[in-house]
Structure 1
């Protein structure tokens, strides 16, 4: 009898679910939007139970659509967006809304840590330079402003760990999510030094136990099984941070194959076999022992497209509208240059967005073209930053923006080299499914599972537009450097609130 595995990838704005046969063949996939609330400009939150309801609804639809016998599902694997804070009490009940990675309420915490040397200590201990939505600054903010909430909490979880708790009643995480703020870069264990320098050692009890991504972390409870449309008792693997899962689902387990993930955030990540400490990069524990992921991340990819849809097209504007109008734009004149950090930057990135070189003849389409181009340019810039520190053998695309072949060609032209692109945007769910395959005993280990489940891809060669795009890319880099200098001389505190009231980020 054919056995199946489920892969669930709960991203920042969309949950994707895939069903595979035991040889990795895709049977069916569905996607479901997840809710996001913005009660005040710096706050980006989610009702954990609404999050669970979105996941349960997606799985029910998939099981019904696939037409397979639910009892033939051998295991479930999970992936989820990283960072943020999901607090639960000793009974596993949410302690208030989850704070998501887009949240910026803790920006002042990072400013203080930069000034007193804490960030340098964290980089040395963990390989991470936190951003406002990382667990450490968010917990520090809560410790100062909502201590009564922390007093009611027993565990701090990542997104996938909350979903697994809802499924199984068990508390756990894996090394790729534990590495968000508190894992030692070399040992992958929780770092006492990281807790000490952030002033959070008194909250160490909140950190969940760390299991292997492929371990059976629990079994499906009857109540959860009923909501999912599955039988109780199915094993659930620990799972992975969605970036690590996407790497497995896109490029596999070979070091040096860089994955450009154009999702809500832009993540440019490569698997390596040694830890890397670099002030411009973040390094986290990898999906299996002896590996790390080196990444350059920007809150300036699909999120900026979603912003442009609302800001330039109105409330009914969509990411698809932005792309269509951008690629229809008349380019008799250069479009303006867009600095895409409307949701803020980290490390050496600007903390705000802007248009440069805007002229009277530039209409809405030219501005949208600038948004789309400069998001690609920022990926190119960040790929270069990664390449300066680690060997990169090849470049591969994944994420929501890659559903548009025109954008994929744009990136190949701007990079001026051949790249590959997956033919689907479900690579995170595929990576999650690999952990289920190992947990169920259908594959011996992650490398074997990945070879079966990895998404097919196609090659994209640069076209005739490459020289012109490279010229505009050089201008983008020059302006980016100038903006950083300007920002250092001005007080931008009144213009850096990255999540204005009423703007809802949706993954493209």
Structure 2
């Protein structure tokens, strides 16, 4: 038996082929652009995702017996607003997770409707990236488009719709819409009312491993798949990455160093952050998690390398950072290139270098970028620890996690051991695992993770001496956002 995992990402779609033993047989990807039509806006044409899937899957299957494919799972970027009309056609470009145009709508939800009220409806408070504020923006700024909405979708669910003809979503992805009653895993009628929606405009809810349908016969022929391939509901990218790294069941943690950065911490039952800094979401195994999110994780290093240094050799650039300088860099970087979620919930925040002198080197600034992201992740972990969520170790995945230097910095700053999973493509691997559960190969997600997930036996251990140095530097870094907060309000 073969299983396909799709990851509908922000910059590319990744396709992964897995056999029943959990071996990754092939990985393909197709890239696409993001549009930034206004400052702070971020959009994509959903047709780009579908074209990427149609490009990737046939290449993925080359050299393999496609008749052995029995199920497919999708994951992808969360929060993106895809709106369809009565004919199932896309009304306007999707508004993505890192779009910050909705700060006035967020203010309305958190101040006028009220933080406590919104949290009582959903388990969360409003952020600019979430889906519900985008719907309010659409209602106010594009009322004709809003009036045409027949179905509200999320990115990976749009792909599943094209595959199966079924409008579905799963509880993990729905958690990030601010339209889900997370505790009860059902759509929130009060939030639908706030946003001017009817339940028929929302997709049907499933658990991540549940089958929503089969690949349509004409689509199967187009993609080179056999008829009858099951499609499961799938998961949001972070929830799927947790499955792909084995962060399943209470008391587990996974760090994702992707375009954004997240710390995903599974909990014993539904739990909320009393200060509303962390997200309370459903997990793909039927449980719950707290998640801290920084809007620009490995994307900071991409910006620094590609746009500023205009250098393509990431490894060579990081080789200039001397190991003996870890914990001693007096240059600080605030990684708020797209605003920030955890813990500030401030779309006006911006990135900054602080502490440069005449002798500051290129390597110092590169090191500051890597450390700034690690400090921001430490903010997320600190918020969890204040809620008495204990994190003793974590897996780590994503493009940024491929760097040994960056992994070491994260371990030292956070003060926890890190484990490296068998595949860098943890979200797509998790999606394929969910497909295996959907096909009945395993009775539940936990059994599947126990059987298939493998991590490196070598852990990245924090260096206690460097850790102690970083604690003092983190305190300095942590003081910078409050010092600049009033400035941010003036420059936007």
The answer to whether the superposition gives a TM-score over 0.5 is yes
CA contact (8 A) 1:78 1:429 kept: yes
Q: Which residue of 2 aligns with 1:326?
A: 318
Q: How does 1:32-431 map to 2 (within 5 A)?
A: 32-64=30-62, 67-180=63-176, 181-196=178-193, 199-278=194-273, 279-289=276-286, 291-314=287-310, 317-318=311-312, 320-321=313-314, 324-329=316-321, 334-346=329-341, 348-349=343-344, 351-389=349-387, 390-431=389-430
Relative to structure 2, which stretch is displaced further, 444-453 or 128-137? 444-453
* Contact 1:403–1:424 (CA under 8 A) maintained in structure 2: no
Change (3 A) 1:204 1:106: farther
Larger RCO: 1 or 2 (CA < 8 Å, sep 6+): 1
Query: Residues of 2 paired with 1:209 and 1:493: CA distance?
Result: 43
Is the CA contact (8 Å cut-off) linking 1:256 and 1:393 kept in structure 2? no
Native 8 Å contact 1:257 1:271 kept in 2: yes
CA contact (8 A) 2:258 2:399 kept: yes
1:367, distance to aligned residue in structure 2 (A)? 1.1
In the alignment, is the contact (CA less than 8 A) between 2:247 and 2:266 conserved in 1? no
Higher mean alpha-carbon deviation, 304-313 vs 48-57, is at: 304-313
CA separation of 1:44/1:461 partners in 2, compared to 1, >3 Å: closer, same or farther? closer
Partners of 2:78 and 2:13 in 1: CA distance:
14
- What SS does the aligned partner of 2:26 have? strand
Asked whether the 8 Å contact 2:151–2:200 carries over to 1, the reply is yes
The alignment covers a number of residue pairs equal to 482
Q: Give the CA RMSD over aligned residues.
A: 2.2
Q: Report Cα offsets for 1:169-203 as digits up to 9, x if no partner.
A: 1111111112111111321111123334xx21445
Unaligned stretches of 5+ residues in structure 2: none
The answer to whether 1:453 aligns with 2:452 is yes
Structure 1 runs of 4+ off > 4 angstroms?
330-333
Contact 2:73 2:432 (C-alpha < 8 Å) held by counterparts: yes
Q: Gaps (5+ residues) in structure 1?
A: 496-508
- Equivalent position SS for 1:384: helix
Is residue 126–residue 183 contact of structure 1 (8 Å, CA) maintained in 2?
yes
Given the two structures, how large is their TM-score scaled by the length of structure 2? 0.92
In structure 2, distance between residues paired with 1:342 and 1:353: 5
Give the distance between the partners of 2:397 and 2:488, measured in 1 at CA: 36
